[in-house]
Protein backbone atom coordinates (compact mmCIF):
# COMPACT_ATOMS: atom_id res chain seq x y z
CA UNK A 1 0.00 0.00 0.00
CA UNK A 2 1.88 3.06 -1.22
CA UNK A 3 -0.55 5.49 0.42
CA UNK A 4 -2.15 5.08 3.82
CA UNK A 5 -5.38 3.09 3.53
CA UNK A 6 -8.30 5.04 4.96
CA UNK A 7 -10.39 2.77 7.14
CA UNK A 8 -13.42 2.90 9.42
CA UNK A 9 -14.43 0.21 11.89
CA UNK A 10 -18.06 -0.44 12.77
CA UNK A 11 -17.99 -2.38 16.03
CA UNK A 12 -14.52 -1.26 17.14
CA UNK A 13 -15.25 -2.12 20.79
CA UNK A 14 -16.06 -5.80 20.11
CA UNK A 15 -13.87 -8.86 19.84
CA UNK A 16 -13.11 -8.39 16.12
CA UNK A 17 -12.95 -4.59 16.43
CA UNK A 18 -10.39 -4.55 19.25
CA UNK A 19 -8.23 -7.13 17.47
CA UNK A 20 -8.44 -5.05 14.29
CA UNK A 21 -7.10 -2.07 16.22
CA UNK A 22 -4.23 -4.25 17.51
CA UNK A 23 -3.42 -5.10 13.89
CA UNK A 24 -3.60 -1.43 12.88
CA UNK A 25 -1.42 -0.42 15.82
CA UNK A 26 1.33 -2.69 14.44
CA UNK A 27 0.82 -1.22 10.97
CA UNK A 28 0.35 2.43 11.99
CA UNK A 29 2.15 3.72 8.89
CA UNK A 30 -0.24 1.82 6.60
CA UNK A 31 -3.59 3.09 7.90
CA UNK A 32 -5.46 6.28 8.63
CA UNK A 33 -8.57 5.77 10.72
CA UNK A 34 -11.56 7.77 9.51
CA UNK A 35 -14.20 6.59 11.98
CA UNK A 36 -14.67 4.25 14.92
CA UNK A 37 -18.14 3.12 15.94
CA UNK A 38 -19.38 1.10 18.88
CA UNK A 39 -22.57 0.32 20.73
CA UNK A 40 -22.85 0.75 24.49
CA UNK A 41 -19.24 0.56 25.63
CA UNK A 42 -18.56 4.31 25.45
CA UNK A 43 -15.66 4.11 27.89
CA UNK A 44 -13.70 1.80 25.59
CA UNK A 45 -14.69 3.75 22.47
CA UNK A 46 -13.51 6.96 24.11
CA UNK A 47 -10.13 5.47 25.00
CA UNK A 48 -9.79 4.05 21.46
CA UNK A 49 -10.58 7.48 19.99
CA UNK A 50 -8.04 9.17 22.28
CA UNK A 51 -5.39 6.67 21.25
CA UNK A 52 -6.08 6.33 17.49
CA UNK A 53 -7.41 9.85 16.81
CA UNK A 54 -10.07 9.05 14.18
CA UNK A 55 -11.86 11.96 12.50
CA UNK A 56 -15.27 10.69 13.63
CA UNK A 57 -16.86 8.49 16.25
CA UNK A 58 -20.31 7.06 16.68
CA UNK A 59 -21.81 5.34 19.69
CA UNK A 60 -25.32 4.27 20.68
CA UNK A 61 -24.90 6.36 23.84
CA UNK A 62 -23.84 10.02 24.11
CA UNK A 63 -20.08 10.41 23.75
CA UNK A 64 -17.64 13.25 23.21
CA UNK A 65 -13.90 13.28 22.61
CA UNK A 66 -11.91 16.50 22.17
CA UNK A 67 -11.09 17.18 18.52
CA UNK A 68 -13.18 14.23 17.24
CA UNK A 69 -16.56 14.80 15.63
CA UNK A 70 -19.43 12.69 16.99
CA UNK A 71 -21.71 11.32 14.28
CA UNK A 72 -25.42 10.67 14.65
CA UNK A 73 -25.63 7.32 12.87
CA UNK A 74 -23.74 4.51 11.13
CA UNK A 75 -25.01 5.75 7.76
CA UNK A 76 -22.76 8.77 8.04
CA UNK A 77 -19.77 6.43 8.14
CA UNK A 78 -21.04 4.28 5.28
CA UNK A 79 -21.67 7.34 3.08
CA UNK A 80 -18.27 8.90 3.68
CA UNK A 81 -16.28 8.33 0.53
CA UNK A 82 -13.08 9.34 2.29
CA UNK A 83 -13.06 5.66 3.30
CA UNK A 84 -11.14 3.19 1.14
CA UNK A 85 -12.48 0.31 3.20
CA UNK A 86 -14.90 -0.24 6.07
CA UNK A 87 -14.51 -3.13 8.49
CA UNK A 88 -18.03 -4.23 9.42
CA UNK A 89 -17.44 -5.90 12.77
CA UNK A 90 -20.68 -5.30 14.64
CA UNK A 91 -22.72 -8.33 15.59
CA UNK A 92 -26.22 -9.17 14.41
CA UNK A 93 -28.56 -7.54 11.91
CA UNK A 94 -27.27 -3.98 12.38
CA UNK A 95 -24.41 -4.75 9.97
CA UNK A 96 -26.64 -5.03 6.92
CA UNK A 97 -27.75 -1.41 6.37
CA UNK A 98 -24.31 0.25 6.62
CA UNK A 99 -22.78 -2.50 4.47
CA UNK A 100 -25.31 -1.88 1.71
CA UNK A 101 -24.88 1.88 2.00
CA UNK A 102 -21.08 1.58 1.81
CA UNK A 103 -21.34 -0.62 -1.28
CA UNK A 104 -23.66 1.95 -2.91
CA UNK A 105 -20.93 4.50 -2.26
CA UNK A 106 -18.27 2.32 -3.88
CA UNK A 107 -16.42 1.61 -0.62
CA UNK A 108 -14.73 -1.79 -0.20
CA UNK A 109 -15.87 -3.94 2.70
CA UNK A 110 -13.91 -6.16 5.07
CA UNK A 111 -16.82 -8.25 6.26
CA UNK A 112 -16.85 -9.90 9.68
CA UNK A 113 -20.59 -9.51 10.24
CA UNK A 114 -21.86 -12.79 8.80
CA UNK A 115 -25.51 -11.88 9.42
CA UNK A 116 -25.30 -9.41 6.51
CA UNK A 117 -24.92 -12.18 3.94
CA UNK A 118 -27.18 -14.62 5.79
CA UNK A 119 -30.00 -12.07 5.70
CA UNK A 120 -29.52 -10.55 2.26
CA UNK A 121 -26.66 -12.29 0.46
CA UNK A 122 -28.29 -12.16 -2.99
CA UNK A 123 -28.92 -8.42 -2.82
CA UNK A 124 -25.58 -7.52 -1.22
CA UNK A 125 -23.42 -9.58 -3.59
CA UNK A 126 -25.35 -8.44 -6.69
CA UNK A 127 -24.90 -4.80 -5.73
CA UNK A 128 -21.20 -5.28 -4.95
CA UNK A 129 -20.65 -6.96 -8.31
CA UNK A 130 -22.53 -4.27 -10.23
CA UNK A 131 -20.53 -1.49 -8.58
CA UNK A 132 -17.17 -3.28 -8.59
CA UNK A 133 -16.90 -3.25 -4.80
CA UNK A 134 -14.65 -5.83 -3.11
CA UNK A 135 -16.08 -7.81 -0.21
CA UNK A 136 -13.18 -9.43 1.61
CA UNK A 137 -14.22 -11.99 4.20
CA UNK A 138 -12.86 -11.75 7.74
CA UNK A 139 -14.46 -14.96 9.03
CA UNK A 140 -11.44 -17.29 9.23
CA UNK A 141 -13.04 -20.05 7.12
CA UNK A 142 -14.05 -17.74 4.28
CA UNK A 143 -10.80 -15.86 4.49
CA UNK A 144 -9.05 -19.24 4.11
CA UNK A 145 -11.12 -20.09 1.02
CA UNK A 146 -10.49 -16.61 -0.39
CA UNK A 147 -6.77 -17.26 -0.04
CA UNK A 148 -6.95 -20.75 -1.62
CA UNK A 149 -8.96 -19.84 -4.74
CA UNK A 150 -6.96 -19.00 -7.83
CA UNK A 151 -9.46 -19.82 -10.56
CA UNK A 152 -12.94 -20.28 -9.15
CA UNK A 153 -14.24 -21.94 -12.33
CA UNK A 154 -11.95 -24.90 -11.64
CA UNK A 155 -13.04 -25.44 -8.06
CA UNK A 156 -15.34 -28.40 -7.42
CA UNK A 157 -16.22 -27.96 -3.77
CA UNK A 158 -15.58 -25.95 -0.63
CA UNK A 159 -14.61 -27.71 2.60
CA UNK A 160 -15.40 -25.65 5.68
CA UNK A 161 -13.80 -26.71 8.94
CA UNK A 162 -15.50 -26.48 12.34
CA UNK A 163 -13.77 -26.76 15.71
CA UNK A 164 -16.86 -28.53 17.05
CA UNK A 165 -17.15 -26.11 19.97
CA UNK A 166 -17.14 -26.94 23.69
CA UNK A 167 -19.60 -29.85 23.40
CA UNK A 168 -17.98 -31.83 20.60
CA UNK A 169 -17.37 -34.89 22.77
CA UNK A 170 -20.32 -34.44 25.11
CA UNK A 171 -23.54 -36.45 25.00
CA UNK A 172 -26.83 -35.04 23.77
CA UNK A 173 -28.00 -35.13 27.39
CA UNK A 174 -25.00 -32.95 28.46
CA UNK A 175 -25.74 -30.51 25.64
CA UNK A 176 -29.38 -30.27 26.67
CA UNK A 177 -28.37 -29.36 30.23
CA UNK A 178 -25.39 -27.13 29.44
CA UNK A 179 -25.15 -23.90 31.42
CA UNK A 180 -24.44 -20.47 29.95
CA UNK A 181 -21.00 -20.55 31.58
CA UNK A 182 -20.07 -23.91 30.01
CA UNK A 183 -21.39 -22.74 26.65
CA UNK A 184 -19.31 -19.57 26.67
CA UNK A 185 -16.07 -21.52 27.25
CA UNK A 186 -14.97 -22.04 23.67
CA UNK A 187 -11.92 -24.34 23.43
CA UNK A 188 -10.16 -22.43 20.62
CA UNK A 189 -11.54 -18.96 19.99
CA UNK A 190 -12.21 -15.98 22.22
CA UNK A 191 -15.22 -14.27 20.61
CA UNK A 192 -18.33 -12.23 21.37
CA UNK A 193 -21.13 -13.96 23.33
CA UNK A 194 -23.60 -14.44 20.47
CA UNK A 195 -21.15 -16.13 18.10
CA UNK A 196 -19.76 -18.23 20.98
CA UNK A 197 -23.22 -19.67 21.66
CA UNK A 198 -23.69 -20.27 17.92
CA UNK A 199 -20.37 -22.12 17.90
CA UNK A 200 -21.59 -24.39 20.69
CA UNK A 201 -24.79 -25.32 18.81
CA UNK A 202 -22.90 -25.34 15.48
CA UNK A 203 -25.45 -22.83 14.12
CA UNK A 204 -22.36 -20.72 13.49
CA UNK A 205 -21.26 -23.31 10.95
CA UNK A 206 -24.74 -23.24 9.45
CA UNK A 207 -24.55 -19.46 9.05
CA UNK A 208 -21.08 -19.86 7.52
CA UNK A 209 -22.36 -22.30 4.90
CA UNK A 210 -24.88 -19.66 3.81
CA UNK A 211 -22.17 -16.98 3.90
CA UNK A 212 -19.89 -19.18 1.73
CA UNK A 213 -22.69 -19.81 -0.77
CA UNK A 214 -23.08 -16.05 -1.31
CA UNK A 215 -19.41 -15.10 -1.23
CA UNK A 216 -18.20 -17.77 -3.63
CA UNK A 217 -21.37 -18.70 -5.56
CA UNK A 218 -21.32 -22.44 -4.79
CA UNK A 219 -24.36 -24.72 -4.58
CA UNK A 220 -25.10 -25.95 -1.08
CA UNK A 221 -24.41 -29.54 -2.17
CA UNK A 222 -20.86 -28.45 -3.02
CA UNK A 223 -20.18 -26.97 0.42
CA UNK A 224 -19.05 -29.56 2.93
CA UNK A 225 -18.50 -29.22 6.67
CA UNK A 226 -15.82 -31.20 8.50
CA UNK A 227 -15.08 -31.10 12.21
CA UNK A 228 -11.43 -30.32 12.94
CA UNK A 229 -10.92 -29.73 16.68
CA UNK A 230 -7.43 -28.20 16.49
CA UNK A 231 -8.62 -25.29 14.27
CA UNK A 232 -5.34 -25.26 12.36
CA UNK A 233 -6.78 -25.96 8.91
CA UNK A 234 -9.10 -22.99 8.52
CA UNK A 235 -10.83 -24.39 5.41
CA UNK A 236 -9.99 -25.92 2.04
CA UNK A 237 -11.12 -26.22 -1.55
CA UNK A 238 -11.05 -29.17 -3.91
CA UNK A 239 -10.24 -28.54 -7.56
CA UNK A 240 -11.86 -30.54 -10.38
CA UNK A 241 -8.68 -32.62 -10.73
CA UNK A 242 -8.83 -33.78 -7.11
CA UNK A 243 -6.15 -31.43 -5.77
CA UNK A 244 -7.06 -30.04 -2.37
CA UNK A 245 -5.67 -26.66 -1.29
CA UNK A 246 -6.05 -25.71 2.35
CA UNK A 247 -5.07 -22.64 4.35
CA UNK A 248 -3.44 -23.31 7.69
CA UNK A 249 -2.32 -21.20 10.61
CA UNK A 250 -2.47 -20.87 14.36
CA UNK A 251 -6.00 -20.05 15.54
CA UNK A 252 -5.79 -16.26 15.74
CA UNK A 253 -8.30 -13.79 14.30
CA UNK A 254 -5.49 -11.24 13.88
CA UNK A 255 -4.40 -13.09 10.73
CA UNK A 256 -7.71 -13.05 8.79
CA UNK A 257 -8.47 -9.51 9.99
CA UNK A 258 -5.10 -8.30 8.76
CA UNK A 259 -5.51 -10.20 5.47
CA UNK A 260 -8.88 -8.57 4.84
CA UNK A 261 -7.89 -5.00 5.63
CA UNK A 262 -4.54 -5.08 3.79
CA UNK A 263 -5.70 -7.20 0.81
CA UNK A 264 -4.16 -7.79 -1.71
CA UNK A 265 -0.88 -7.01 0.08
CA UNK A 266 0.66 -8.87 3.00
CA UNK A 267 2.77 -7.56 5.86
CA UNK A 268 4.49 -9.11 8.84
CA UNK A 269 2.19 -7.20 11.16
CA UNK A 270 1.05 -8.84 14.34
CA UNK A 271 2.01 -12.43 13.46
CA UNK A 272 2.89 -13.79 16.89
CA UNK A 273 4.93 -16.90 16.14
CA UNK A 274 6.18 -19.09 13.32
CA UNK A 275 4.06 -22.00 12.27
CA UNK A 276 5.40 -25.44 13.16
CA UNK A 277 3.84 -28.70 11.99
CA UNK A 278 5.99 -30.56 14.52
CA UNK A 279 4.62 -28.50 17.43
CA UNK A 280 1.06 -29.12 16.27
CA UNK A 281 1.85 -32.84 15.91
CA UNK A 282 -1.61 -33.99 14.85
CA UNK A 283 -4.62 -32.82 12.90
CA UNK A 284 -7.91 -34.66 13.38
CA UNK A 285 -10.99 -34.59 11.16
CA UNK A 286 -14.43 -36.12 11.54
CA UNK A 287 -17.93 -35.83 10.12
CA UNK A 288 -20.27 -33.56 12.09
CA UNK A 289 -22.87 -35.33 14.23
CA UNK A 290 -26.13 -33.88 12.93
CA UNK A 291 -28.15 -35.60 15.67
CA UNK A 292 -26.29 -33.69 18.37
CA UNK A 293 -25.99 -30.54 16.27
CA UNK A 294 -29.12 -30.37 14.06
CA UNK A 295 -28.73 -26.60 13.50
CA UNK A 296 -26.34 -27.29 10.62
CA UNK A 297 -28.99 -29.27 8.75
CA UNK A 298 -31.58 -26.57 9.36
CA UNK A 299 -29.19 -24.00 7.89
CA UNK A 300 -28.63 -26.15 4.80
CA UNK A 301 -32.40 -26.38 4.40
CA UNK A 302 -32.87 -22.63 4.77
CA UNK A 303 -30.04 -21.93 2.35
CA UNK A 304 -31.50 -24.23 -0.29
CA UNK A 305 -34.93 -22.64 0.12
CA UNK A 306 -33.36 -19.20 -0.42
CA UNK A 307 -35.46 -16.00 -0.40
CA UNK A 308 -36.45 -14.90 3.10
CA UNK A 309 -35.77 -18.34 4.64
CA UNK A 310 -32.27 -17.45 5.83
CA UNK A 311 -33.33 -14.06 7.24
CA UNK A 312 -36.00 -15.93 9.22
CA UNK A 313 -33.49 -18.53 10.42
CA UNK A 314 -31.07 -15.81 11.48
CA UNK A 315 -33.65 -13.75 13.38
CA UNK A 316 -35.27 -16.70 15.18
CA UNK A 317 -31.89 -18.09 16.17
CA UNK A 318 -30.60 -14.72 17.39
CA UNK A 319 -33.65 -14.11 19.60
CA UNK A 320 -33.43 -17.64 20.99
CA UNK A 321 -29.70 -17.14 21.70
CA UNK A 322 -30.51 -13.93 23.63
CA UNK A 323 -33.16 -15.82 25.63
CA UNK A 324 -30.58 -18.50 26.45
CA UNK A 325 -27.99 -15.90 27.49
CA UNK A 326 -30.63 -14.31 29.72
CA UNK A 327 -31.25 -17.64 31.41
CA UNK A 328 -34.79 -18.03 30.02
CA UNK A 329 -34.31 -21.23 28.02
CA UNK A 330 -31.94 -24.20 27.80
CA UNK A 331 -29.24 -24.54 25.17
CA UNK A 332 -30.96 -27.19 23.06
CA UNK A 333 -34.17 -25.15 23.04
CA UNK A 334 -32.40 -22.62 20.83
CA UNK A 335 -32.62 -25.15 18.02
CA UNK A 336 -36.14 -26.30 18.90
CA UNK A 337 -37.48 -22.74 19.00
CA UNK A 338 -35.66 -21.72 15.82
CA UNK A 339 -37.02 -24.77 13.99
CA UNK A 340 -40.57 -24.16 15.23
CA UNK A 341 -40.53 -20.54 14.01
CA UNK A 342 -38.74 -21.48 10.80
CA UNK A 343 -41.28 -24.20 9.95
CA UNK A 344 -44.08 -21.63 10.16
CA UNK A 345 -42.33 -19.10 7.91
CA UNK A 346 -44.13 -17.99 4.77
CA UNK A 347 -41.37 -17.82 2.21
CA UNK A 348 -40.90 -14.89 -0.15
CA UNK A 349 -38.71 -16.23 -2.92
CA UNK A 350 -37.30 -13.00 -4.38
CA UNK A 351 -37.62 -10.48 -1.57
CA UNK A 352 -36.81 -6.78 -1.70
CA UNK A 353 -34.58 -5.41 1.02
CA UNK A 354 -37.69 -4.00 2.72
CA UNK A 355 -39.26 -7.48 2.75
CA UNK A 356 -36.08 -8.87 4.28
CA UNK A 357 -36.16 -6.29 7.08
CA UNK A 358 -39.87 -6.99 7.57
CA UNK A 359 -39.17 -10.73 7.79
CA UNK A 360 -36.51 -9.99 10.37
CA UNK A 361 -38.85 -7.90 12.50
CA UNK A 362 -41.85 -10.22 12.25
CA UNK A 363 -39.72 -13.28 13.00
CA UNK A 364 -38.18 -11.64 16.07
CA UNK A 365 -41.61 -10.68 17.41
CA UNK A 366 -42.98 -14.20 16.79
CA UNK A 367 -39.94 -15.81 18.40
CA UNK A 368 -40.22 -13.63 21.51
CA UNK A 369 -43.98 -14.31 21.78
CA UNK A 370 -43.36 -18.03 21.40
CA UNK A 371 -40.62 -18.04 24.04
CA UNK A 372 -42.72 -16.06 26.49
CA UNK A 373 -45.66 -18.40 25.94
CA UNK A 374 -43.84 -21.02 28.02
CA UNK A 375 -41.29 -18.99 29.98
CA UNK A 376 -41.92 -16.59 32.87
CA UNK A 377 -40.67 -13.05 32.25
Ligand X SMILES: NC(=O)c1ccc[n+]([C@@H]2O[C@H](COP(=O)([O-])OP(=O)(O)OC[C@H]3O[C@@H](n4cnc5c(N)ncnc54)[C@H](OP(=O)(O)O)[C@@H]3O)[C@@H](O)[C@H]2O)c1
> Which of 9, 238 has the CB closer to ligand X?
9
Calpha distance 93→226 (Å, rounded) = 27
Count of residues of this chain found to bind ligand X when the rule CB under 6 A is applied: 28
Exactly one of 20, 23, 77, 90 binds ligand X (CB under 6 A); that residue is 90
114 sits near ligand X (criterion: CB under 6 A): yes
Tell me which residues in 26-65 interact with ligand X (CB under 6 A): 37-41, 60
> Which of 16, 178 has the CB closer to ligand X?
16
Calpha distance 171→3 (Å, rounded) = 54
Helix axes 295-305, 203-216, angle to 10 degrees: 30
Least distance (Å) between residue 169 CB and ligand X: 22
Q: Say if CB 54 and CB 31 are below 8 A apart.
A: no
Q: Say if CB 307 and CB 356 are below 8 A apart.
A: no
Q: Say if CB 300 and CB 218 are below 8 A apart.
A: no
Least distance (Å) between residue 112 CB and ligand X: 4
89 sits near ligand X (criterion: CB under 6 A): yes
310 sits near ligand X (criterion: CB under 6 A): no
Q: Say if CB 209 and CB 300 are below 8 A apart.
A: yes
Give me the residues paired with residue 108 across strands: 85
Q: Say if CB 159 and CB 235 are below 8 A apart.
A: yes
115 sits near ligand X (criterion: CB under 6 A): yes
Exactly one of 5, 11, 255, 370 binds ligand X (CB under 6 A); that residue is 11
> Which of 111, 128 has the CB closer to ligand X?
111
DSSP designation for 4: P
Exactly one of 23, 144, 253, 341 binds ligand X (CB under 6 A); that residue is 253
Q: Say if CB 11 and CB 58 are below 8 A apart.
A: no
> Which of 35, 128 has the CB closer to ligand X?
35
The residue number whose beta carbon is nearest to ligand X equals 14
192 sits near ligand X (criterion: CB under 6 A): yes
Query: 3-state class of 261 per DSSP?
Result: helix
* Binding footprint of ligand X on the chain (CB under 6 A): 11-17, 37-41, 60, 74, 89-91, 94, 112-115, 139, 189, 191-192, 195, 253
Amino acid sequence: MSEKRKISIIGSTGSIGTQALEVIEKLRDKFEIIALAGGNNTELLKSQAEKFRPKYIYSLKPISVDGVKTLSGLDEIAENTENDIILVACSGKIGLKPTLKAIENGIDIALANKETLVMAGDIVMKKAKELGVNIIPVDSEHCAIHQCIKDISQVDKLIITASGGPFLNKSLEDIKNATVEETLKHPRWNMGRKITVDSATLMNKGLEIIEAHHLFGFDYDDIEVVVHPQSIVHSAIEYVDGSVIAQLGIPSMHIPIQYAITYPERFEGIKSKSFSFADIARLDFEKPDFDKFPAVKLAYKAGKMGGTATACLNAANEEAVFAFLNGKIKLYQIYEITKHIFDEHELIQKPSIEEIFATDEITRAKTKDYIYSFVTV
